[in-house]
Amino acid sequence: MHCPKSPYSWGKCGRAEIPILEQEEVYLGGFVYRLSSIKKWSFVILFFTGFFLSMEMLRCSEHIGVAAISAGIDEQPLEKGVKKDIHFSSIRELSGIPFASKDGIVLNYKRLKISDVDQAYNPSIVAMPNGYLLAFRNDRGIGLERKSCLSAARLDSRFRQYGKTVFFHTDNPISEDPRCLSVNGQLFLLYCHVFAWYPYTTSMAMVQVDPEKLTLSGDVDLRYREQKIEKNWVPFVYSDQSGSDVYFVYSANPFKILRLSRRGDGGIEEPFPQSEKRDFLWESRWGKICGGTPAVEVNGEYLTFFHSSFWSHGVRWYVMGVYTFDNKPPFEIKRISRYPILFKKMYNTPIHPDVWFRPRKEFRVVFPGGFIEAKNNGKDVLHLVYGENDSGLCVLTLDKDRLLNSLQNIEAGITTCRLGVCPE
């Protein structure tokens, strides 16, 4: 037994004995074939292989296309820049909702550009003497190697960056979704500290920011854990004769309030009993109400923009709304949006190629992180900053009075009210 030298045979390469072949023969699957026969059939084999592969690709593309069109997604490739507006009428949960821009609530939309950062999203904002300070999240790497960190940039009154981007270094190597909070003239960031990607485990942390030098100090984890994933707490400040305290809306439904201990060690107190869980109409249609912007007192009540999400045709849609609560303890929830805030250009930020979710057409995200009150041509407005598609930063200008007038009392937002039985 010896290995033949023919280029069409491999000789004694395995445990089984391989026959010695002639120059125009090949050994496949235990049979000897003449190359002349293979050449005759090669074109046929290649033709049918290409045909079936083409049909399979067409079937897959049709399936994806139908699902995408049913979900209202434009099929223009994401890498080619801004996509066309989404047709909300094709999404059952969003069909029939009037655009907030047509109602005069949304006045302007702008995408923010930040230098030195490839993927910046989920911002928060605070007013500064020369404009604004924008804190945001930026990611590097993909999959389990992905690292999230916090960064900041200074903006002028027209939301244009001046100066260099500052990259913060917290005590936690993976830090997400900052919220800016001003307490007695001092600036803090509340953020999400990720312990592990799998299983995903997080807690909340706070750190003080020097607004001039943009340096961090006093980083502390908040010592409260009811569940494996602690995130999206809504911070707010309440002041009385005894001083100022930092509170958090831990959950909107049931409405639960936490208070930061004055000891400075990250201790958390539960000052009030939580409310009973109610059947909110919002949550029955657009998903669980989750935290968003810090709550700020506006016209005698605290106001916060929140987010929720739902699945439709294989796509997870994030939407946002507003709720308010009393400006005095025990801070009971009062009013809520009738439906999500929709507008043209929404979800149009091209999805970054290294974004965490796969495939890239499964999520459409809006994530509100901060707002400020301002004047625009003599009109009271709110400038809301939010992250879009985990890939970009946007600012939305809203008419404050029209937004507040669009809210409904919380009792009217309970599903039992639709049956004529409203709680007293």
The domain locations on the chain are 1-70, 81-419
pTM confidence score: 0.79
Domain 81-419 classification at class level? mainly beta
The reported pLDDT for the residue numbered 355 is 74
The reported pLDDT for the residue numbered 414 is 83
Residue 185 has pLDDT above 80, yes or no: yes
H helices present in 316-379, as ranges: none
Cα–Cα distance between 205 and 225 in angstroms, integer? 12
Residue 402 has pLDDT above 80, yes or no: yes
Paired residues of 189 in beta bridges? 180, 207
- Dihedral sign for Cα 118, 123, 126, 132, please: positive
Burial 150-182 (b: 16+ CB within 10 A, else e): bbbbbbeeebebeeebbebebebebbbbbbbbe
> What's the first-to-final CA gap in the chain, in angstroms?
96
Residue 145 has pLDDT above 90, yes or no: no
The reported pLDDT for the residue numbered 362 is 83
Output the average pLDDT for the chain.
Answer: 82
The reported pLDDT for the residue numbered 203 is 95
Weakest mean pLDDT among 191-205, 282-296, 347-361:
347-361
pLDDT, one tens digit per residue, over 75-117 is: 333 333 445 678 898 899 999 999 999 999 999 999 999 998 8
The reported pLDDT for the residue numbered 84 is 64
Weakest mean pLDDT among 149-163, 219-233, 345-359:
345-359
Which DSSP string corresponds to 311-322?
A: EETTEEEEEEEE
The reported pLDDT for the residue numbered 85 is 76
Residue of 102, 99, 100, 105 lying closest to 398 (CA atoms): 105
Cβ–Cβ under 8 Å, residues 209 and 190: no
Residue 403 has pLDDT above 50, yes or no: yes
Residue 30 has pLDDT above 50, yes or no: no
Cβ atoms < 10 Å from Cβ of 116: 13
Residue of 136, 264, 157, 134 lying closest to 211 (CA atoms): 134
Averaged pLDDT for residues 399-422: 78
Weakest mean pLDDT among 45-59, 76-90, 251-265:
45-59
The reported pLDDT for the residue numbered 275 is 94
The reported pLDDT for the residue numbered 107 is 97
Weakest mean pLDDT among 46-55, 240-249, 261-270, 401-410:
46-55
**Phi-psi category of residue 72: left, alpha or beta, with phi > 0 → left and psi -120 to 50 → alpha:** left
* CA distance readout (Å), 397 to 187, 380, 385: 24, 10, 9
Averaged pLDDT for residues 273-278: 93
Distance of CA 302 to the CA centre of its chain: 24
The more confident residue out of 145 and 316 is 316
The reported pLDDT for the residue numbered 41 is 52
pLDDT grade, residue 66 (50/70/90)? very low
Weakest mean pLDDT among 75-84, 92-101, 316-325, 393-402:
75-84
The more confident residue out of 417 and 134 is 134
Paired residues of 26 in beta bridges? 33
Residue 45 has pLDDT above 90, yes or no: no
**Phi-psi category of residue 9: left, alpha or beta, with phi > 0 → left and psi -120 to 50 → alpha:** beta
The more confident residue out of 351 and 395 is 395
Residue 219 has pLDDT above 50, yes or no: yes
The reported pLDDT for the residue numbered 58 is 40
Percentage of the chain lying above the pLDDT 70 cut:
75
The reported pLDDT for the residue numbered 80 is 39
- Six-digit token string for 62: 């049709």
